[in-house]
Structure 1
Amino acid sequence: MKNIAITKDVQSALSPNQVLQDLLDGNNRFVNGQSQTTDNSALVNQTIGGQFPKAVVLSCIDSRVPVETVLDQAIGDIFVARVAGNFENVDILGSLEYSCKVAGSKLVLVLGHESCGAVKAACDGVELGNITAMLDNIVPAVRKATEEEDGLTTSENKAFVARTVKYNVALTMDRIREKSPILADMEANGEIQIVGGVYSLHTGKVEMI
């Protein structure tokens, strides 16, 4: 049972590799139907005075990818930043910097997912209200995937969408390093890792890229 929240000492002792493995182990438990039970009341009480999450996950808003659930994490374990299409912007970057530089998290995980609606919309060039400007953040991934596609470059092509999802994760990681000297320096110094993965709606598995 998970009934002890992460403390500062525990967080400080963790390496980025250990945190990544912990999240992957949690995903394996989820996939295998062995998710840990949690004493939420105990965790709530222990985290009233502070929090020391080991990682921050940048994910999509998709309701089929509840991040704490699919990684088998509990109260106080991870920060989660969510936006349709799991891309970075100023607010997301500030949140990631806070998570790592201020609060001590050891890992940034950019988590895309299979059949992402935002990616599909970007592939199809959807224009609708504020969604139009939001999708502009995903267009670079669409363009990169298009360079390797001989067939249909719309959401009807599942392979094209899957390729775009992966490129969107990879390009987001690149831009995080480019736009955040704080995070880039922390990664260069071995204080954190910036990694990416894609969640399968079919299997529940997170595959690292």
Structure 2
Amino acid sequence: MSDQLPQDPSRRSMLRRALTLSAVSVTGIASVTIPSISFADSLSKEDRDDMTPDGVIEHFKKGNLRFRENKPLKHDYLAQKRQSTAGQYPAAVILSCIDSRVAAEIVLDAGIGETFNSRVAGNITNGDMLGSMEFACAVAGAKLVVVMGHTKCGAVKGAIANAQLGNLTGLLDKIKPAIEKTQYSGERKASNYDFVNAVARKNVELTVENIRRNSPVLKELEDKKKIKIVGSMYHLEGGRVEFFEVDD
């Protein structure tokens, strides 16, 4: 694989100050655009509107690959902040876990203004989260809803262990249906991280189902193919973000 990832065609303004090189071939003159050392821009409305839901997923996959290879874009966050003050045009809304190791913007190499982000232990949903997602998609124009779980999730582990602690007890109760619905033939204990990870994935799937069931607004947008609602798992070891679709 080359050192330079190909530029996402849907992000025409993603990199500024590009160099244009003219090369002569046997068939004539070809113009090749080569990104120079430059800074990642905020998403413009045109950029975002040109992207399809699948295109947003591919964009994030490329960003995650850059993260894993330690070749992130050169983010000028102050410049992105200034650009975004005139308006915001995020491509996706991400519901992820509160876990300090799972910062979605970083692991997807996204800049300021690219994503709406909701974080709660165990990446569960409720009415407030759904309302936020409805704003993100139906009002602000985001094309993708991503539920991001992760391996070695402490909230999932706590639900399996039946942990009791103040308001956390009620939160963990919302994860427990995933324990019951997880098919796993090995040891079903919180000390077994293979089981914890299996439950974490099932919990993502159930959250996607809950979004569709409890938000007619988002369900209608998805049925009309204006958005996609997908699951994902961030693998703490290795840093890969795995995207997957959840059937109705």
Normalising by structure 2, we get a TM-score of 0.81
Does the CA contact (< 8 Å) of 2:40 and 2:111 recur in 1? no
Offset of residue 151 of structure 1: 4.0
Aligned match of 2:46: 9
The reply to whether residue 53 of structure 1 matches residue 90 of structure 2 is yes
Offset of residue 15 of structure 1: 0.5
The reply to whether residue 138 of structure 1 matches residue 175 of structure 2 is yes
User: Would you identify which runs of 4 or more consecutive aligned residues in structure 1 move more than 3 Å?
Assistant: none
Change (3 A) 1:3 1:36: closer
Which 5+ residue runs of structure 2 have no aligned equivalent? 1-37
CA deviation profile, 1:59-106 (whole Å, cap 9, x unmatched): 001111111110000001111100000011111111111110111000
Does the CA contact (< 8 Å) of 2:189 and 2:195 recur in 1? yes
CA deviation profile, 1:128-159 (whole Å, cap 9, x unmatched): 100000011101101112xx334432211222
d(CA) in 2 for partners of 1:158, 1:3: 37
The reply to whether residue 110 of structure 1 matches residue 119 of structure 2 is no
Aligned match of 1:198: 233
Percent of matched pairs sharing the same residue: 43
d(CA) in 2 for partners of 1:152, 1:16: 38
Structure-to-structure mapping, 1:52-201, within 5 angstroms:
52-145=89-182, 148-201=183-236
Offset of residue 23 of structure 1: 0.6
Larger mean CA deviation between 122-131 and 151-160 belongs to 151-160
Letter in 2 for 1:107: L
Aligned length: 207
Give 3-state SS (helix, strand or coil) of 1:80's partner: strand
Give 3-state SS (helix, strand or coil) of 2:94's partner: strand
Letter in 2 for 1:9: E
Which protein, 1 or 2, shows the higher relative CO under an 8 Å CA cutoff with sep ≥ 6? 1
More strand as a share of residues: 2
Aligned match of 2:15: none
The one of 72, 76, 81 aligned to 1:39: 76
d(CA) in 2 for partners of 1:80, 1:150: 35
Normalising by structure 1, we get a TM-score of 0.96
Aligned match of 2:16: none
Who wins on radius of gyration, i.e. which is larger? 2
